[in-house]
């Protein structure tokens, strides 16, 4: 009884001492995860999860969603501020314009040229306005149930038919749930993001960033809004003579390479003639085709890759410190694994630290090991992998060999499968013996 009371006291501390240093147990935040991982024992972790303050979605954070969340929360490189009844909200014109035609129109008319926009209408609730911004940036909304009507009013004013429909459907679900669970009190209403819609609308920023002469055939979406859709770029990347009008907020937030390039070491230089306030930086050793893939990934977390371009994109993703783009390249390469290229694929995976692709390669090697042992290149790969281990003793294991053995032996359930696995292991052992490796 004392222990349970102690755990409840700990929970009270997590949920209420927000002003003190340390983690805040809030859903879908980095700090919320710290509460779980920093808990004293499994009992406290279970209580935290049962209380629904830290969801599985928060524990399996998506890098792109987290980037958008932090972009709103920290407001880095913001170019507009909203003052709502004394509360300040930093935002980015490009994001609001991409997500809402209402904001696109207002930025070009009533709010044109303004960096500070004061909203004085008595029916605009600051908390509801903050929730609307959260929806714009992340596709998610977490609001107190008492703010639903305020959010509906703002959504109607901003001509956000999709949000109004989502709120209506969610309210119906809550009403049905409460009706079937007498005594239940719902205090917070949450809308889950529709990632595809968010990515499609952010892709408009990449569409608009494309130089006019390159737009045909490259856009992820039809260019129905491009010509009438100002995105307020603040950086121009010049690649092979083509000018890409982009946004520091996205490039700095998604890549430490660009953050260092644009924030720490970027000095005054050439200015774009058509937009004098926009600096120009030239990128070398990259083709404009590859940069287009990089740009779409930065804005949307996705890009269409082919085997013709994937190796070039992989090299650039590694240079620009974009691990998510490297993983996309790894997925594309994995689809093309075959007997003729599996050794090259494995070397590529090792070189670029693509652990998933490396594992898929060794799994494929295990299936064809009886033919692989006849290849000199495979024997050399084992020797090199053994030599790469620092202070390796004569009988120490070799990672490549261990991984192949694991896949040969995994999921062996029938007698025929056991016999086949033993034959493969024997073929591998004979090769190891012939090259004097004992592991």
Average pLDDT, the chain: 82
Q: What pLDDT, on the 0 to 100 scale, is given for residue 45?
A: 53
- pLDDT tens digits, 180-212: 877 777 788 888 887 788 899 999 999 999 998
Residue 215 makes CB contacts below 8 A (sequence gap 6+) with: 207, 223, 226
Helix or strand holding residue 142 (H, E)? strand 141-144
Q: Would you state the pLDDT for residue 297?
A: 97
Indicate the fold that domain 197-331 takes in CATH: Potassium Channel Kv1.1; Chain A (3.30.710)
Q: Are 137 and 156 in contact (CB under 8 A)?
A: no
pLDDT, position 350: 94
> Which of the four pLDDT bands, split at 50, 70 and 90, describes residue 405?
very high
CA angle 148, 154, 160 (to 5 degrees): 100
* Cα–Cα dist 305/331, whole Å: 10
Report helix, strand or coil for 238: strand
Q: What pLDDT was estimated at residue 416?
A: 84
The domain locations on the chain are 2-61, 64-193, 197-331, 339-434
How far, rounded to the nearest angstrom, does the alpha carbon of residue 208 sit from its chain's CA centroid?
21
Cross-strand partners of 119: 84
Cα separation, 118 vs 128, whole angstroms: 15
Q: Which fold has domain 64-193?
A: Potassium Channel Kv1.1; Chain A (3.30.710)
Q: How sure is the predictor about 373, in pLDDT bands with cuts at 50, 70 and 90?
A: very high
Identify the residue whose tokens are 């086949």: 420
**Which of the pair, 30 or 428, is modelled with greater confidence?**
428
Letter string b/e over residues 412-427, b meaning 16 or more CB atoms within 10 A of that residue's CB: eeeeeeeeebeebbeb
The percent of the chain in helix, strand and coil, each rounded to the nearest 5, is 55, 10, 35
Q: Which range (67-71, 194-198, 237-241) has the least confidence?
A: 194-198
Distance in angstroms (rounded) separating the CA atoms of residues 161 and 73: 25
What integer pLDDT is reported at residue 5 of this predicted model?
Answer: 43
**pTM reported for the whole predicted model:** 0.80
Q: How far is CA 277 from CA 206, 272, 273, in A?
A: 20, 7, 9
Angstrom distance (rounded) from CA 180 to CA 178: 5
Band the pLDDT of 77: cuts 50, 70, 90.
very high
């Amino acid at each position: 009884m004392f222990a349970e009371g102690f755990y409840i006291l700990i929970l009270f501390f997590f949920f209420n001492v927000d002003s003190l240093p340390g983690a805040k147990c809030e859903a879908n935040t980095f700090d919320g995860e710290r509460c779980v991982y920093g808990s004293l024992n499994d009992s406290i972790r279970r209580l935290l999860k049962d209380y629904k303050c830290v969801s599985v979605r928060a524990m399996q954070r998506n890098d792109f969603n987290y980037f958008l969340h932090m972009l709103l929360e920290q407001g880095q490189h913001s170019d507009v501020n909203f003052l709502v009844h004394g509360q300040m909200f930093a935002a980015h014109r490009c994001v609001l314009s991409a997500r809402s035609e209402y904001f696109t129109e207002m930025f070009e008319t009533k709010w044109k040229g303004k960096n500070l926009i004061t909203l004085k209408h008595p029916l605009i609730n600051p908390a509801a306005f903050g929730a609307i911004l959260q929806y714009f940036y992340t596709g998610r909304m977490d609001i107190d149930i008492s703010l639903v009507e305020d959010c509906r009013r703002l959504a109607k004013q901003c001509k956000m038919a999709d949000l109004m429909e989502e709120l209506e459907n969610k309210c119906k679900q809550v009403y049905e749930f409460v009706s079937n669970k007498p005594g239940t009190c719902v205090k917070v209403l949450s809308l889950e993001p529709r990632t595809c819609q968010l990515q499609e609308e952010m892709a408009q920023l990449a569409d608009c960033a494309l130089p006019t002469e390159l737009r045909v055939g490259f856009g992820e979406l039809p260019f129905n809004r491009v010509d009438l859709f100002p995105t307020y770029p603040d950086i121009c990347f010049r690649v092979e003579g083509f000018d890409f009008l982009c946004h520091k907020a996205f490039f700095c937030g998604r890549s430490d390479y660009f953050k260092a390039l644009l924030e720490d070491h970027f000095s005054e230089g050439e200015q774009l003639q058509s937009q004098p306030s926009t600096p120009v930086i030239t990128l070398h050793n990259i083709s404009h085709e590859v940069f287009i893939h990089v740009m779409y990934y930065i804005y949307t977390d996705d890009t269409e890759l082919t085997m013709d371009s994937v190796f070039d994109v992989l090299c650039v993703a590694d240079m620009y410190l974009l691990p998510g783009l490297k993983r996309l390249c790894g997925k594309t390469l994995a689809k093309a694994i075959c007997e003729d290229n599996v050794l090259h694929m494995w070397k590529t995976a090792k070189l670029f630290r693509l652990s998933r692709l490396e594992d898929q390669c060794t799994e494929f090697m295990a299936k064809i090991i009886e033919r692989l042992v006849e290849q000199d290149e495979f024997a050399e790969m084992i020797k090199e992998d053994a030599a790469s281990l620092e202070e390796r003793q004569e009988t120490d294991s070799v990672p490549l060999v261990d991984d192949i053995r694991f896949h040969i032996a995994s999921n062996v359930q029938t007698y025929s499968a056991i016999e086949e696995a033993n034959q493969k292991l024997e073929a591998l052992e004979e090769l190891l013996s012939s090259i004097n490796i004992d592991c």
